[in-house]
Amino acid sequence: MTANISLISVESYSAFYRVIVVQVLVPIFLCINLFLIRTFSKEEFFYTTMRYILFAVTLVSDSLFLVMTDALLILTYFSVTIQMWLCLIMCIFLSLYTFATPVTLTAMTLERYVAICRPLHHAELCSTRKAVHCILIIHCISSVPFIIILSIFFLASAAHSLNIEINNCNMDVFVVHSWQSHFRSAISQFYFLIMCIAIVCSYIKIMKVAKCASGENKKSSWKGLRTVALHAFQLLLCLIQLWCPFIEAVVIQINLMMYMNLRFFNYITFILAPRCLSPLIYGLRDDRFFCALKHYVLCGLYKTWSKEQKNKL
């Protein structure tokens, strides 16, 4: 009896500690993302250039994803009861922004491919107007998995009522049969397979161009190659996020505390951190964006940006 009470006490303290850690990290990550968005919105060159527009899309998607996951964590921790329809809406947006970031990364990779391998078509294919169309296409593609999954869930379980109340809102609420979970994973893996193929093919094409180029073109090509490699790494982190549930399903059969610790580690490492650190790294390694960022961080004291860099833009 005493041992059980002690175990419950340890689990309660551990859960409280995890929630506090997340509440500290999420505002920090959001502030970084919002500052990057502010920097983007301050310069006309950024919001009229496709690759920076797509970069801003990833920032917005990641910020909304952080807010949604944090809200679900708080609701779950305090066992707040909500109706199924509200949980459904939250899961729709969560699924949308789960896919929006990797799809946008793929679009950014293709933009670099066009800029380096098809430079004569870049101005036509990557205009501001085409960027708006690209954003709409990205969100349409990102919404397809959840629409398919949700349709199958309700067809397989017509008894599901949207008016019932639940206190643990997540995608698993809509899983009635095990095959539904497998089908959901299959769709996600298929999406990421297509995106991986697109990035790998772009990397190979850009590498060929980089080897044949010379002078400034060679330097630009190799820089584009490194950018594509960064996108591949970001996509890998998103893919690992999909593999985590499979690993967790095995660990929970072994030890509950180990499962809770692993799930918290996966949440911080592969869900929260990449949503901030990857965009930050991308922004810092871009010369123009870094100069603008430094200018605004130092509240205008960095005059090089305003005098020299703006002229280059």
Q: Which residues, 6+ apart, have CB-to-CB distance to 104 below 8 Å?
A: 54, 57, 58, 61, 138
For position 103, which CATH number holds? 1.20.1070.10
Which residue positions in the chain have pLDDT lower than 50? 1-9, 305, 307-308, 313
CA distances from 246 to 109, 236, 267 (A): 29, 16, 14
Number of domain units in the chain: 1
d(CA 263, CA 244): 8
Outline where the chain has alpha helix (H): 2-42, 50-77, 84-117, 119-125, 128-156, 178-212, 215-251, 256-266, 274-285, 287-297, 303-304, 310-312
How many other CB atoms are there within 10 angstroms of residue 162's CB atom? Answer: 11
Supply the pLDDT for residue 139.
92
d(CA 64, CA 37): 13
d(CA 169, CA 71): 10
- Identity of the residue numbered 306: S
Residue 157's nearest CA partner among 145, 169, 144, 175 is: 175
* Residues forming beta bridges with residue 165, ordered by sequence position: 83
DSSP assignment string, 156-174? H-TT--TT-EESS-SGGGG
Between helix 215-251 and helix 84-117 the angle, nearest 10°, is 150
Q: Which residues, 6+ apart, have CB-to-CB distance to 85 below 8 Å?
A: 162, 163
Supply the pLDDT for residue 135.
92
Supply the pLDDT for residue 8.
47
What sign does the CA torsion over 301, 305, 233, 64 have? positive
> The tokens of 272 are what?
């929260």
Q: Name the 3-class secondary structure at 83.
A: strand
d(CA 168, CA 73): 9
Supply the pLDDT for residue 137.
93
* HSE of 86, CA atoms in CB hemisphere, 13 A: 15
Supply the pLDDT for residue 7.
40
Residue 200's nearest CA partner among 167, 170, 225, 183 is: 225
d(CA 126, CA 108): 10
d(CA 49, CA 206): 20
Let me know: does 143 contact 187? Beta carbons within 8 Å.
no
d(CA 210, CA 218): 5
> The tokens of 151 are what?
């349709």
Residue 220 belongs to what domain range? 2-312
